[in-house]
Amino acid sequence: MDRRRTTKYMKKVFLFPAFAFIPLAMVCCTTMAERGTEPLGSPPVITHSFASKELSHGDLWKIYVEAHDPDGDMRHFVCVLKQVGYGYYPSEYVIINKRHRGKMKGYLTFNSATGGGLGLTEWTQLELKVYIRDRGRKTSNEVVFPLVLSRGSKETPPPPPFDISGLERLGAISIMLKDERKGVR
User: Which range of residues forms the domain containing residue 13?
Assistant: 1-37
Give the separation between CA 32 and CA 21, rounded to whole angstroms.
17
User: Do 75 and 4 have their domain in common?
Assistant: no
**128 and 56 in a common domain:** yes
Judgement on whether residues 155 and 74 belong to the same structural domain of the protein: yes
pLDDT tens digits, 47-101: 999 999 998 888 899 999 999 999 999 999 999 999 887 889 999 999 999 999 9
Whether residue 147 lies inside any domain: the answer is: yes
Whether 18 and 49 share a structural domain? no
pLDDT in tens, 118-140: 566 777 888 999 999 999 999 99
CATH code for the domain of 71 = 2.60.40.10
Mean of the per-residue pLDDT values of the chain: 80
What is the predicted pLDDT for the residue at 180? 59
Task: For the chain, give the percent of residues with pLDDT over 90.
Answer: 49
The conformational region for residue 27 under phi > 0 = left, psi -120 to 50 = alpha, else beta, is alpha
What is the distance between the alpha carbons of residues 95 and 126, in angstroms, rounded to a whole number? 23
SS3 44: coil
Tell me the whole-structure pTM to 2 decimals.
0.73
**pLDDT band, very low/low/confident/very high, at 185 (cuts 50, 70, 90):** very low
Q: Looking at the 3D structure of the chain, how many domains does it have?
A: 2
Which is it for the CA torsion 94, 95, 97, 103, positive or negative? positive
* Residue 183 counted as domain residue: no
Residue 91 is predicted with a pLDDT of: 94
